[in-house]
Structure 1
């Protein structure tokens, strides 16, 4: 996880403008660099580094001797960079995975370069020889990128919107700051003045497209056809490969699998500089896990334990859960920990602690979406604990599983398999506005790097290619196909494998009094009825309809006035007359109180 920032065509002093880049310093606590572009005195790059790969030569903007005219700032990981390097016989100058972008662009151009990448990324690529600027973002927007472009051609870019808020422009009104769309690249002509003109915006990948390039893993054992046993086997193979390829790092790696209430942390220590494919054979690795016992996190934890045992790793897995003593997630986590034989630790969570963190979480989120905030508090606090109490840096997360496998409880009410499949794709396309945004900001707030195996290109494309009827909830259970794929393997306890999804972030608190209930009580004392009645007038865009929404919006507007468009709409269940995003408010919700 790093923070990238760039200006092209600034009319103000660059040294003054550069102070805005410090607003994202939390994303890269290891080092910072500010560099003017040679020959363009009104253009510059800023980079906050979290050193993960090639700690010696990984500083940015990245430049190599072979391409002196190319400048690159990027945030992300390219999991197939070694495969691409070998396939095309590139000669690397560094061990940085992002160097592959320079070689691919030089040989193939921007479109093919982007389409060849297996990973998560946002990038800013400058070609001074041809006076071109290119920006791009991965398929699901796992890595963030915000864009400010004025009518006179001033372009400003940053990993988080807050880094662009006080950028000075010649405009009389505040310039619009927008998230760059996932799966796209944009090309600009760069004028001698440093100003730019957008000449091309194009999608290079979407979630339903399966990678065709040989540069992606060629996995053995994948079957053809939609016979159930073949599909189940393929799901297992692709899932394990998705986890495995993301173990690329030269720093201590952690894993925080977090859906709305589904968190996991796995950490292990690497000795030496190694590549993903080969590291398991020779390294001493120590694992730490944080998870609440949800399906997604438990599957990831168990899969990693399995890999560790196969390679005879010398350290036990440590597991961590967060929640009240009687929370359903903590209870489930204990069962999983006992089943996999991990060294288990529980971190206490209280509603009072969550309420105290609300404002700083909203500041980091840059969102006033209700369900996003509720689910962010626990993830923010556990990320803070990891940063302060451990030396793990790279964090795996479970974002995308619910969207991909129709895990939200409202999918039980889908009018047809086709409608369910369409909504699954819609949710995946909006991840960058909600769950992926939450996971990025809550981890990056504490200088941790996010990785998301459930959003692997091959895994998602395969799952979405399956017949619509196979993917819907079945027998009253959501994610039925995913559960069925791991049935009978004893990877995790059966009661966890078939445990129903808990209601968003409520699962980490007491069944007697949930985080949701405690939050409502606090807000009731902060917002009165008359204030809510005036909400439509005060907040005409996305007006809040509840006191909670009003309370959150007030805090958001305090820090980000007139930026309400950053949240285009609220996350809400479909096909149900819902007034609140929490599943606890839905008539079809039946929590597993006996777990």
Structure 2
């Protein structure tokens, strides 16, 4: 994943500020660097390196000889770096994909740069000649970026909240906000290197076709063929890695399809090792059983990570710290991911991990879509979910995976794929014959990539599938938090926590943990994830909805 950190216009000594950078060192376990910038002594760039491509020359802050005035730290993967080189004649000096960011900026400026990147990214680029700082974040916010600003012009940037909340800014009122996905920001530095925002631009909308050249096959008139081709291309381009690749596997259609395409594409591009797959759950987990069948079918090197109720509960503090969230469904869904990521880091040599996040939002896969009043309402909700993914599922995947020094790749959020799907008639994307994600399942139905029972397996939330049908993870959490939160606490909940007041003891418990780690930062989560069209419910589990069914 890597971690970025930067400050501009600091009045405190850089040596006093630098330790804050190391609160995110888990994101880059291979090397760390904090450096001041030539002739800008109160400005600093920090980087924690997870070496995926060009571990020798890919260290940051990055500069190249032809553009010594440009300094950059970024977290991400630029999948079209070679295509950009061919199209614009860039002369790269490293084998690091991120070098394309410097060349694109030098060629056409910040907006041109962001529009032409096929990948996921959060960058901070400093043009010392123009005294301008540029920030950018990918369309869906797959890579995180937060900034702290003060009234007197201090600017700080970090991959996580942790690296910003203890910075010294001499008592000036400060604000921490997430950089908006799909946006760039431009700051001008004065003579004291204090930063002033001069421009904020949205460079890409989720349904807007990208401007860069594609490596996918030309689209025809058959939506099913187009979905297959775009999805295959999305997986294949993400195989760009000098470190071992693996897949998270729950046994549902999303993760199983990704794993199947990774296995197939890996053979085609000459990867000579067996792909590892990973499933996690408690005894009796429905996901463990389903994933085992898929792994046997695909011939992967499969790993099952079993954890107990007690282990899951004991990890809650650590999960909230890494997640930087108090959202119920985000925390519930993190438990399996937490133990899988820990296992991968400690027991294997896999570093790059594929996952199926984004499919439910794109293909209307959540169970509550059965309750949508009409197709147009379902389409609007799908687009809203995609817009806010960075607050929930994408956040969970990034923070937990990066918490163990791994990198997550999400082919369902490929820009070419998503823009095409969103261009289709909403009726095609909606539930058909009572089956969610019908378009996706139908596209791969005759391919033999997966067993049909897997391809058409009903939706199971990851936060539910890690447990058995008899005793769900959310029931375990309810029992646990019932003893930790009093009735008096709940009576006072809205006064104690006026923003997003907890509606259950479980929610109160998570909020209390969050406030211990990140006091006063609750507004970074604008609302709590809940199923729509499901009545007055405080329970986000799909197992409580009428449309829920088991395979």
Whole-angstrom CA distance in 2 between matches of 1:317 and 1:504: 22
Q: CA deviation at 1:481?
A: 0.8
**1:558 and 2:496 are equivalent in the alignment:** no
Whole-angstrom CA distance in 1 between matches of 2:29 and 2:320: 21
Q: CA deviation at 1:490?
A: 2.0
**SS of match in other structure, 1:140:** coil
Partner in structure 2 of residue 239 of structure 1: 231
Partner in structure 2 of residue 273 of structure 1: none
Whole-angstrom CA distance in 2 between matches of 1:406 and 1:373: 22
**1:583 and 2:542 are equivalent in the alignment:** yes
**1:195 and 2:194 are equivalent in the alignment:** yes
Q: How does 1:171-250 map to 2 (within 5 A)?
A: 171-173=171-173, 175-214=174-213, 216-217=214-215, 219-224=216-221, 230-250=222-242
Cα pair 1:349 1:509 within 8 Å, conserved: no
Partner in structure 1 of residue 393 of structure 2: 435
Q: CA deviation at 1:319?
A: 3.4
* Change over 3 Å in CA distance of 1:105–1:176 after alignment to 2: same
Q: CA deviation at 1:28?
A: 0.7
Partner in structure 1 of residue 133 of structure 2: 133
Partner in structure 2 of residue 286 of structure 1: none
Q: CA deviation at 1:317?
A: 4.1
Q: CA deviation at 1:579?
A: 1.9
Q: CA deviation at 1:294?
A: 0.7
Q: CA RMSD in A?
A: 1.4
Whole-angstrom CA distance in 2 between matches of 1:18 and 1:317: 39
Whole-angstrom CA distance in 1 between matches of 2:119 and 2:192: 34
Q: CA deviation at 1:347?
A: 1.7
Larger displacement relative to structure 2 (113-122 or 503-512): 503-512
**1:493-519: per-residue Cα shift (whole Å, max 9, x none)?**
111111111134111112221111111
Gaps of 5+ in 1: 225-229, 256-263, 265-290
TM-score, length of structure 1 as denominator length: 0.90
Partner in structure 1 of residue 302 of structure 2: 344
Q: CA deviation at 1:385?
A: 0.5
Cα pair 2:246 2:275 within 8 Å, conserved: no
Partner in structure 1 of residue 145 of structure 2: 145
Partner in structure 2 of residue 56 of structure 1: 56
Q: How does 1:255-294 map to 2 (within 5 A)?
A: 255=247, 264=248, 291-294=249-252
Partner in structure 2 of residue 517 of structure 1: 475
Whole-angstrom CA distance in 2 between matches of 1:149 and 1:317: 44
Cα pair 1:362 1:368 within 8 Å, conserved: yes
**1:4-48: per-residue Cα shift (whole Å, max 9, x none)?**
000100011111011110100100111111111111111110111
Gaps of 5+ in 2: none
Q: How does 1:474-493 map to 2 (within 5 A)?
A: 474-493=432-451
Whole-angstrom CA distance in 1 between matches of 2:259 and 2:392: 24
Q: CA deviation at 1:309?
A: 4.7
Cα pair 1:240 1:303 within 8 Å, conserved: yes
Cα pair 2:111 2:203 within 8 Å, conserved: yes
* Change over 3 Å in CA distance of 1:178–1:311 after alignment to 2: closer
Q: CA deviation at 1:342?
A: 3.3
**SS of match in other structure, 1:254:** strand
Larger displacement relative to structure 2 (84-93 or 321-330): 321-330
Q: CA deviation at 1:171?
A: 2.9
Partner in structure 1 of residue 31 of structure 2: 31
Partner in structure 1 of residue 114 of structure 2: 114
**1:399-443: per-residue Cα shift (whole Å, max 9, x none)?**
111100101000111111111111111101101100100000000
* Change over 3 Å in CA distance of 1:221–1:106 after alignment to 2: closer
Equivalent residue in structure 1 for 2:328, among 356, 366, 370: 370
Q: CA deviation at 1:530?
A: 1.8
Cα pair 1:40 1:192 within 8 Å, conserved: no
* Change over 3 Å in CA distance of 1:205–1:312 after alignment to 2: closer
Cα pair 1:350 1:509 within 8 Å, conserved: no
**1:236-272: per-residue Cα shift (whole Å, max 9, x none)?**
00001000001111222233xxxxxxxx2xxxxxxxx
Whole-angstrom CA distance in 2 between matches of 1:42 and 1:317: 46
Cα pair 1:399 1:452 within 8 Å, conserved: yes
Q: CA deviation at 1:363?
A: 0.6
Whole-angstrom CA distance in 1 between matches of 2:507 and 2:497: 11
Cα pair 1:351 1:519 within 8 Å, conserved: no
